[in-house]
Amino acid sequence: MARGWESKSVEEQQAEATSAKTKPSRPLTPEELAKDRERQGLLLSRAHLLQQLEAAQNPRRQQMLQTAIADLGAKLARLG
């Protein structure tokens, strides 16, 4: 029974975090929305590459993935 209560608390915390992200204090401009979409896409790509890097065994493949991850990091830094 205690475990169910704990899970509910975690669900509530996640719902609050999600609602806080989805309710901006002011409407976003089209440029801000495009920048946010681009940032989210880059973060997803980076997460996918990190997952591939963990599974990669070939040193050349690992180097290629590390280079791609660094490139995405630079793009994210430019977005601010």
Q: Please tell me the number of Cα atoms within 13 Å of 31 on its side-chain side.
A: 1
DSSP 57: -
Whether residue 57 is contained in a domain is answered as: yes
Residues in the chain: 80
Domain that holds residue 39: 31-80
> What is the reported pTM?
0.65
Count of domains forming the chain: 1
pLDDT digits (tens, 9 = 90+) for 42-76: 999 999 999 999 999 999 999 999 999 999 999 99
Give the number of other CB atoms < 10 A from CB of residue 65: 20
Whether residue 66 is contained in a domain is answered as: yes
Q: 3-class SS at 15?
A: helix
Whether residue 12 is contained in a domain is answered as: no
Whether residue 37 is contained in a domain is answered as: yes
Whether residue 20 is contained in a domain is answered as: no
Whether residue 64 is contained in a domain is answered as: yes
pLDDT digits (tens, 9 = 90+) for 34-44: 999 999 999 99
DSSP 28: P
Whether residue 49 is contained in a domain is answered as: yes
